[in-house]
Each structure stands twice: as C-alpha cells, then as structure tokens.
Amino acid sequence: MKDRYEYIFGPVLSRRLGRSLGIDLLPYKTCSLNCLYCECGPTTNLTLERKEYVPTREVLRELEEFLKQNDLPIEVITFSGSGEPTLHSGIGEIIHWIKGHTPYPVCVLTNGTLLYRSDVQKDLLPADIVIPSLDAGDEETFRRINRPHPGLSLSQLVEGIRTFRQAFRGNMPLEVFVLPGINDSWESVKKLGERIRYIKPDTVQLNSLDRPGTEPDLKPEPIEALRDIKVALESQTGIPVHIVVSQPKQHRLKTTVSPSLRGKILSLIRRRPSTLDQISRVFLVDPETVEQLLEELQGQGLIRKVETNRGEFFTTKEGCSKRSGAERNTQTTSE
Ligand code: SF4
C-alpha cells in the first residue's frame, strides 16, 4: 500500500461515526471561518470562493486505489480535514462516485456557511449524513468564536442550515461546540436553543475540546456543565441532545508493524493531533510498538510532542496538514 496519500487519510476512530476514512479536499488552511478551537490552527486563506482547490480526478484516483488495497475496517467515508469541504466545487461529483462505487455511507462535516447556496445544497443532498455546526445564538458570539469571513452573518448561516434541512432526506445532527466562559452562560444557551428550534436538526451533538485548539488558553467544558446544557436545550427545543464522548471498542492489538504504518501515522497526525493511545486504537497496534515508532519519528525530526492540559498530543513538525501549493468525536480525532 502507498505510504502516504495526499487527499485520503485514516481510517480514524471518530467518536460520532466509528471507523471513518477521511477525504481532505482543501489546501492548508482554507476555510470560511477561523474558529478559536480549530485543531488545524489559524485559517490562512479565509474565503468564500468555491472552486476546484485540488484535482477532483486525483482525489477519485487515490480513493479507488486506497479502497482496493486497504486492509482496515471502514464504517463511513467522511469529508473533513484542512478546511471547509463545501468550498471545493467537485464535492458533489465525488459523493456521487462514492455512492455509485462503494457500499459505504457518506458523511460531510461542514461549518454550514455555504449551505445557503443552491449548488452546495444540490451537491450534498445524496450524502447520508450531513453535520453542520452552530456555536452561537447571537451575532457577537458568532464573531467571537468562529471569526467568520466578513461576507458572512449568523442569520445567513442559520437560514442556510434550515433550508438544507427542509430538502435533505438523510440524517442531519447539528454540532454545537461549547467553550467555557464564551458560549456556556444560560443566556447564550437560551439564544442557541431558539436557533436550534428554528433549524429542527435530527439531534444536537454537544462537543468540547479534546485536542489542542488554535488558541492555547482554551479549556474543555466540564462534563457536569455539558450535562446541564443538554438538559436545558432538550427542554427548550424538544430535540434529543447527545454529549459526544469516547466509547472505545475492544480490538486485538498487533505487535508487528506493517511497512506503511509510519506513513499512515504521519498522514493522520498532520491533520489531527493525536495521543499515543489514540494512535494505538486507530491502527490496532499495541501502545509500546506505537511508542517506539513515535520516538523514532521524533528522533528524525518528523514529528513533535505538544503538552496540553488534556494530555500529550503528537503532531507533525509543521503542525496540521500543510501541503504546499497544492480539517470534531473520536477516540482520536473529531468528527
Ligand atoms: S473548526 Fe472547521 S470551520 Fe472552524 S476554522 Fe477549523 S476547519 Fe474551519
């Protein structure tokens, strides 16, 4: 198997989706938002321009090759990675190909900012799961957390998600990222609840930090506070609210290392900083073997360890995916 793919990564263990093969359609770091909590670091290309950022044909070629050779179980194919996937104009063609050539459900993790556009809606309608995000119920909090492109507003975002919800026949949970002292006051939660009631998602997924974010001082929301917010939102909206938590599955772990494992680990952690334990569970390799490999990669100057109050995370030397020229629920990583 090829050591390193340019556009395909994982499969990663997602807290929400299970074993998920990732597709990354954006050069680092292209997004319509610049969220405080982004695990990929600051947005360097803050844009609303929709275009073919990487060649659609190459993505399909890699995907086909990966699926022919892959020996790890996959439960879903997910669009996520170094930015907002709906900015790529070929996403509809790629979803269409996956639905026609593979048995896997397709999930799109989106910040929802382009869902007001009819072409984006049309592209995402064949997907099985679309998970947009909404972190704020008022414009000021939206600007503070998500730091959007100047051409965006909260009301446009909310209208876009609602319009898509009305047309989409698949499963549409709404993700809400909670940050202590920023959007967890009762007033903020009430305003969020009003927007959620208007959108009518299937469920709400409450998330908080589990990997390093853009701003180093951010802390995860305590689980007790998440439980209180869940109860408040459910009683206000009547919509089920789930707290995203790790639910490790038990697998027999390998002690031998395949020649491609180094490349797979690099491919994973350059998009999603991960702990040793997370890497072990993603690739079903025992922790001691992973530790040895990580030490080797550190010794070669290819990766670095980041100490946070949530543990030690490994990432590539340059940080989240940085393909020159040319990505929230996991045991490892988000979505
Ligand atoms: S968290 Fe998602 S939407 Fe926010 S800046 Fe990062 S990639 Fe963009």
Per-residue pLDDT of the chain (335 residues; tens, 9 = 90+): 455 688 998 888 777 788 899 999 999 889 999 999 887 788 999 999 999 999 999 999 999 999 988 777 899 999 987 799 999 999 999 999 999 999 999 999 999 999 999 999 999 999 999 999 999 999 999 999 999 999 999 999 999 999 999 999 999 999 999 999 999 999 999 999 999 999 999 999 999 887 655 566 788 888 999 999 999 999 999 999 999 854 434 444 555 566 677 887 887 887 778 888 878 777 767 777 888 888 888 888 888 888 876 678 888 876 554 433 323 333 333 33
Instruction: Please answer whether residues 176 and 133 qualify as being in contact, where contact means their C-beta atoms are separated by less than 8 angstroms.
Output: yes
Q: How far is CA 103 from the centre of its chain?
A: 22
Hey, which residues does 242 pair with through a beta bridge?
205
pLDDT reported for residue 247: 44
Nearest to 270 by CA among 297, 311, 305, 303: 303
What integer pLDDT is reported at residue 333 of this predicted model? 35
Alpha helix positions (H), 70-135:
91-101, 118-124
CA 111 to ligand 1 center in whole angstroms: 7
Sign of CA dihedral 18, 123, 161, 238: negative
Which of helix, strand or coil describes residue 19? strand
**Which amino acid is residue 212, in one-letter code?**
P
pLDDT at 279: 81
pLDDT at residue 46 in the model: 97
What does the pLDDT read at residue 214? 59
CA-to-CA distance for 318 and 312, rounded, in angstroms? 17
Among candidates 105, 99, 117, 219, which has minimal Cα distance to 163?
117
- Global confidence as pTM: 0.78
Give me the pLDDT at residue 331, please.
34
Yes or no: say if 272 and 12 are a contact pair by the CB < 8 Å rule: yes
C-alpha dihedral, 247 to 249 to 255 to 259, nearest 10°: -80
Query: Residue 10, by phi and psi: left (phi above 0), alpha (psi -120 to 50) or beta?
Result: left
8 Å CB contact between 200 and 239: yes
* pLDDT confidence of residue 236: 97
Best residue among 26, 33, 45 to mutate for probing ligand 1's pocket (most ligand atoms within 8 Å of CB) is: 33
Alpha helices in 147-286 (DSSP H): 154-167, 186-199, 223-237, 261-271, 276-283
Which atom of ligand 1 is the closest one to the Cα of 109? 2
Contacting residues for 308 by C-beta, under 8 A, at least 6 apart: 212
| Atom number in ligand 1 closest to CA 327 | 7
Domains of the chain and any CATH numbers: 8-250 (3.20.20.70)
The pair of three-digit structure tokens given for residue 327, joined into one six-digit string: 């990505």
Residue 97 and residue 44: Cα distance in Å, rounded?
30
- The CA-CA-CA angle for residues 64, 68, 69, to 5°, reads 120
Q: Whose CA is nearest to atom 7 of ligand 1?
A: 83
Token representation of residue 183: 């959007």
Residue 249's pLDDT is what?
41
Pocket of ligand 1 (CB under 6 A): 31, 33-35, 38, 40, 43, 83-84, 111, 327
